[in-house]
Structure 1
Amino acid sequence: MRKTALIITLALLGSATVWAETDARHKTGKPAAQKPAAATKQAVHKAAPAPSSASAKSAAEAPMGQEELSIAQRVHQGHLPCELGAAVRIEPDQIQPGYFNVQGKGFRYRMHPVATSTGAIRLEDKQAGAVWLQLANKSMLMDQKKGQRLADECAHPEQVAFAEQMKNNPPPPLIEVNTGR
């Protein structure tokens, strides 16, 4: 959409330049001074400056509360291999405690912890609609806007060990089924 707007703007600026040149030629009989194309593009970019990402981040990011900081301490960090050869890298933000940079092939999110009633560790990037769920035996990254998983079966070495332990010593069933009457 931005490309289309830029193309339309450049086309309109080009038309305006042609009209100005034609008008100048009619008034003076001489061709109008030519501006290089780069100057025209710069003018377009200066007309609508983007807000500084640093100021946008600081306005949206409040300092973490004690509960969120406690959750952040339990987030597995580093390179986590996932199913189908995918991988996710989770790194803590060095400036803003409690925030994490979560990235992989085709995505990059800035996430923060959110308390849950289940005990699962949850990181969110509300603006992008991304959620990282960390369970005892695996983690996954979901895009809530698209309703799909971006990465699944991601595992830190601690999670791999826990999953192995679950295989060797399965937990008791949550619901007992009595087969004898």
Structure 2
Amino acid sequence: MQLPVTRSLPFIVLLLTACATSGPQSATESSDRKVARTKSERQQLDFRLASGTYRCELGQSVEVERHARGDRAIEVRWEGKQHTLQRQASSSGLPRYEDRQNGLLWIDLPWKSVLMDAHSGRPLANECKPPANRTASG
């Protein structure tokens, strides 16, 4: 059944474009580019998003635990394993968390999220809906 993938493809392309980050900068980077990058990092969006079980397409689920004292990291339980994902700056400012060692990428939007294979760009859990009425734990 190709319908879910076909329907989701434009969303995935848009998400990847919106959440792309630039590669490592050279030591000779101009001061203008440093200022622009610093300004971009300061302009990251900060949503109060839910902790709990996110229900995704194809019957999948992802457990997300957020901490009230900051948005620098989240805990994600995927396929029985616990992962710590660190917040990464994105050009769009959208919340983007990555576990580079294990190749997981979680992109947060208030209305849905996606868990991706950071190496291939392939969605692992798509169209993940947040749990109702739960926010960051204290």
If the length of structure 2 is used for normalisation, what is the TM-score? Answer: 0.53
Aligned pairs (5 A) from 1:1-181:
71=46, 74-92=48-66, 98-157=72-131
Task: Give the paired residue count.
Answer: 92
Q: 2: CA distance between counterparts of 1:151 and 1:121?
A: 17
Structure 2 segments unaligned to the other structure (5+ residues) = 1-41, 133-138
Share of identical aligned residues, percent?
A: 35
The structure that is strand-richer by fraction is 2
Structure 1 segments unaligned to the other structure (5+ residues) = 1-66, 159-181
The structure that is helix-richer by fraction is 1
Higher relative contact order (CA 8 A, sep 6+): 2
| 1:99 shift after superposition | 2.2
Q: 1: CA distance between counterparts of 2:118 and 2:64?
A: 19
State the Cα RMSD in Å. 3.1
Q: 2: CA distance between counterparts of 1:157 and 1:78?
A: 6
Q: 2: CA distance between counterparts of 1:121 and 1:81?
A: 19
* Partner AA of 1:99 in structure 2: A
